Structure 1
Amino acid sequence: MDRERRLAALFDMDGVVLDTEGQYDNFWREQGRRYHPDKPEFHKMIKGQTMELILKNYFEGNVALQQQISLELDEFESRMDFPYFPGVELFIRTLQKHGVRTALVTSSNNKKMAHVLMAHPEFTELFERVITADKITRSKPDPECYLLAARELQMEVDVCCVFEDSFSGIEAGRRAGMKVIGLTTTNPREKIQDKVDWVLSDFTGCVYDEFIGLMER
């Protein structure tokens, strides 16, 4: 690949940019204990999915319960911490310095993003586009969200690279026809390494030249 060719990096948010999955595990583990005790791994089963899909798949037919869980999640997210993963902000800024286009692609809704932007107003500098659950009709693992990000950036899929941690997100990136870098922040290396092009534990050792090398393969 010509190094002058523009590239795009598309980042999932929770579990990739922000170290929040442990907090979500606590919330969804409790929901699973209360409403799906037959599914001890419930908090893992819903990783990467939009709230709409979770409610449809696991709480369909009970509107009152769906509304209750939605309100509980809204309240929970209003009190969350949103710490960065080590090295991720520097890595994104380095990509931008070299002309790489950047977008955030998350299963979170606009209400959640409002809380995140209060904690991290610099997101408006880090990401040219933000794709939330409110912009799509089909949740990951459907590739709609990543294809939309590429369109909004006016980039072809073959120059886009997805950064993901969940199985559903990795599959979405794959189905979009993009390179996929998997983070071991949610699943161990051995569980994702055959599903991605490159595996990272975090961004502290991730440098621009390695990113370019992956995109040139």
Structure 2
Amino acid sequence: MKPKAIIFDMDGVILNSEPIYYEVQMKFFRELGINISADEYSTFVGLSQTEMWKRILKKFDSTSIRQLTDGVEYNFSTLNKINLLEELITKNNKLNYQHFSKLENLKPTPNLIDFINELKNKNIKLAVASSTTKKLVDLILEKLQIRHFFEVIVSGNEIKNGKPEPDIFLKTAELLKVKPEECIVIEDSFNGVKAAKSAGMKCIGFQKFNSGEQDLSDADLIVNEFNELISFI
């Protein structure tokens, strides 16, 4: 693999953040009276808030959910779902941002900085393509003190179709001014790997226990640590 660009997913790759999201999401689900199992939640890994909540609203189409403001219940089948979707996304994004804002001493994934320095020495362009909102991506990268390494950052709220569609990776390649086939994506989720391969890019599956039981079998290579890649690329 001799790429011109490496595109990193953020959550689960740059930062072991999936357990943090899991805690916030499960608390929010309970407050709404929604029963989501750990196995089902693992299918949401890599999705944008929009894609995740679309799936949840579809599943609970004939049931009720506690209203976000005054505690009463309303029915999915009669409520304006567009307004509900927007309300859920806004509230969820706010909860995520508030939670991460309070966290201190966040550390990047082990050996990430060494790997990035090796890529920089080889003049390989670096980017982040994350389903997370731009505001939260910027916050996390600044807390990790690694924002300056990346030429391009594309977030989930900047593209029309989120992962597993290829839009976010195609936009990232366009901004980097490289062809999709000249890129390698590093992803930890089934949805992310599918998006990368649909974009016509090589993909490295980053196998992490905290990302749940993710099927990364379509990736071109699967690793557990960044030090496995330092001599490979």
Give the TM-score normalised by the residue count of structure 1.
0.83
Larger mean CA deviation between 109-118 and 135-144 belongs to 109-118
Q: For residue 7 of structure 1, what is the aligned residue in structure 2?
A: 4
Spell out, residue by residue over 1:172-197, the C-alpha distance to the aligned partner (whole angstroms, 9 max, x if none): 001011110001112458x42x3111
Provide the rounded CA distance (Å) in 2 between the counterparts of 1:69 and 1:143: 21
2:8 touches 2:129 (CA, 8 Å); kept in 1?
yes
SS state of the match for residue 128, structure 2? Answer: strand
Aligned CA RMSD, in angstroms, stands at 2.4
Alignment partner for residue 116 of structure 1, among 140, 152, 160? 140
Q: For residue 148 of structure 1, what is the aligned residue in structure 2?
A: 171
Q: Does the C-alpha gap of structure 1 residues 72 and 178 become closer, same or farther in structure 2, counting only changes over 3 Å?
A: closer
Alignment partner for residue 79 of structure 1, among 81, 99, 106? 99
State yes or no: 1:129 paired with 2:137. no
Spell out, residue by residue over 1:108-140, the C-alpha distance to the aligned partner (whole angstroms, 9 max, x if none): 1122124224413431x2111000112201000
SS state of the match for residue 210, structure 1? Answer: coil
Alignment partner for residue 104 of structure 1, among 105, 128, 134? 128
Q: For residue 210 of structure 1, what is the aligned residue in structure 2?
A: 232
State yes or no: 1:23 paired with 2:20. yes
SS state of the match for residue 10, structure 1? Answer: strand
Provide the rounded CA distance (Å) in 2 between the counterparts of 1:64 and 1:158: 39
Q: For residue 42 of structure 1, what is the aligned residue in structure 2?
A: 40
1:20 touches 1:83 (CA, 8 Å); kept in 2?
no
1:79 alignment partner AA: H
1:32 touches 1:39 (CA, 8 Å); kept in 2?
no
Q: For residue 51 of structure 2, what is the aligned residue in structure 1?
A: 53
Aligned length: 204
Provide the rounded CA distance (Å) in 1 between the counterparts of 2:94 and 2:182: 36
Spell out, residue by residue over 1:133-188, the C-alpha distance to the aligned partner (whole angstroms, 9 max, x if none): 12201000000100111111111111100000011000000101111000111245
Unaligned runs of 5+ in 2: 59-80
Provide the rounded CA distance (Å) in 2 between the counterparts of 1:40 and 1:100: 37
Q: For residue 183 of structure 2, what is the aligned residue in structure 1?
A: 160
2:203 touches 2:220 (CA, 8 Å); kept in 1?
yes
Spell out, residue by residue over 1:23-49, the C-alpha distance to the aligned partner (whole angstroms, 9 max, x if none): 112222334455432655332121111
Give the TM-score normalised by the residue count of structure 2.
0.78
Q: Does the C-alpha gap of structure 1 residues 62 and 32 become closer, same or farther in structure 2, counting only changes over 3 Å?
A: farther
Q: Does the C-alpha gap of structure 1 residues 32 and 195 become closer, same or farther in structure 2, counting only changes over 3 Å?
A: farther
Provide the rounded CA distance (Å) in 1 between the counterparts of 2:28 and 2:146: 33
Q: Percent identity?
A: 24
| Higher CA-based Rg | 2
Unaligned runs of 5+ in 1: 212-217
Provide the rounded CA distance (Å) in 2 between the counterparts of 1:38 and 1:163: 28
Q: Does the C-alpha gap of structure 1 residues 138 and 68 become closer, same or farther in structure 2, counting only changes over 3 Å?
A: closer
By how many angstroms is 1:66 displaced?
A: 5.3
1:71 alignment partner AA: K
1:141 alignment partner AA: P
